[in-house]
Every structure is written in structure tokens, then in C-alpha cells.
Amino acid sequence: MSPPAVVRHGSLVLLLALLPACATPSDGGASAAPAAATPGTPEELEELVVPAVPSGLPRVPDDALSPPAGEKSVEDVANYAEDAAREREVLHDYGYRFGWERYWGSGAGPLTTVFTHQFQTPEGAAAFTRDVAEHDGEVYGGLLREEPPVLPPGCRLLQLAEGAPAAGVTSPAAFAWCARGVFSIAVTAVGGSVDSVTEEVRAVVAAQLDRLPSS
């Protein structure tokens, strides 16, 4: 199964350039919630995505980005790739159902992103998580760590102390990809120091996983 080109790996640079100077104020740290039933619609998945991040960065309105954040269908995710038709086939192979994308940041400063995907089976979610992490690890370089001690089981971590200038990321960054039941999450933090972005990613991952049902 070919790895997908999704999760805006190449457009992180674009996002850093497009983030508006104004955004919705954050209401505090990444907050967990009681485990819910497995969502049956994108709107139900939205309710499970963390509403805020520990850094206190302001929330970026979904429609302030192009393409907009928020609800994601197979078609939406496929259109991130150069070959959308091939991407649709790959996503169908994984059993992709829908996803939800959310951003926090302002101007050219620090950025935190969460992308939560839902699949038909845990196997599809795990395969997608593995393949996207390996693919993005190749894009950005650095050492991709499986099961790092700072993250829960089922996660992978990429830390870039100097960013990835060749890929257009000029600030320290941390990326995490985790599988939990039929869900796959991707969390990114950019800006500050590698320690601060890693702590942001760690806290957001923990809160996001706590909000998801286990299967």
C-alpha cells in the first residue's frame, strides 16, 4: 500500500505564511473529555477534537485557511495530493471515513495543529498512521522515533531542533502521529525551542487521545 501524501505535509510552510494575524482567543489548555461513543458523522467527530492547546495560542477560524480547515472527506484529503485520483484509491484502501482539522496560531509566530482521522477498522487507522509518519519523516528529515517514552503507546515522534530549512520550516518543530482504535491523530507544533514544541505536542496528544473512544 503506497503511503498517502495527505496531512498537508508540504503545505506546513504555506500555513505559516497564510495564518491570519487575528484569531479566536483560546480558552486555556488542551482539555480532555469523558470518552464518547464512536462518531457516526463528521460533526460528532468535531465534538471530540481538543478545543484549545496548552500554549494558549489563539484558535484560527476554519475558513481563514485555504483550503479551509474543519471537516474533511476522502475527496478533501485526496485533493492535497498532486494525483488526487490515486490518493482517493489509497484512502479507500485504508478505509478512510472522515476527519477534522484544527489550527492555533497567529501571523508568522508559533503554530499548533491537530488532525483527527476516523477509519472503518483499527487496522486501517494503524496502517495509515505508520505510513504517514514514515512519509513525513522522509519529507522533513530527522529521526522518526517509534513508541517514544514521552508519548503513549501507538505513537511516533519527529523532533526538529533546527526546523527543516530545506522543506521551508525555519523554526524548531515537533510532530506526533498516533493510532487509537479506529482513529489516527497527527499533532504538530512549530516555534520556540524543541523542548517547548515537544511539550506542546505531548500535552495535546494526551488530551486528544483521552477524548476519543478506544474503539
Q: What is the pLDDT along the chain (215 residues), one digit of tens a residue?
A: 333 443 344 344 434 444 444 444 455 556 555 456 899 999 999 999 999 999 999 999 999 998 999 999 999 999 988 899 999 999 999 999 999 999 999 877 899 999 999 999 999 999 999 999 999 999 999 899 999 999 999 999 999 999 999 988 989 999 999 999 999 999 999 999 999 999 999 999 999 999 999 76
The string of pLDDT tens digits covering residues 89-127 is 999 999 999 999 999 998 778 999 999 999 999 999 999
At residue 82, the pLDDT reads: 87
Judge contact between 134 and 102, C-beta under 8 A: no
Neighbouring-strand partners of residue 158: 144, 175
What are the angstrom distances between the C-alpha of 89 and each of 79, 81, 97?
12, 12, 13
Q: Is the peptide bond before 51 cis (omega within 30 degrees of 0)?
A: no
Q: Please provide the CATH number assigned to the domain covering 12-211.
A: 3.40.1000
What are the angstrom distances between the C-alpha of 43 and each of 18, 114, 143, 186, 214?
26, 16, 35, 19, 19
Rounded distance between C-alpha atoms, residue 109 and residue 171, angstroms: 9
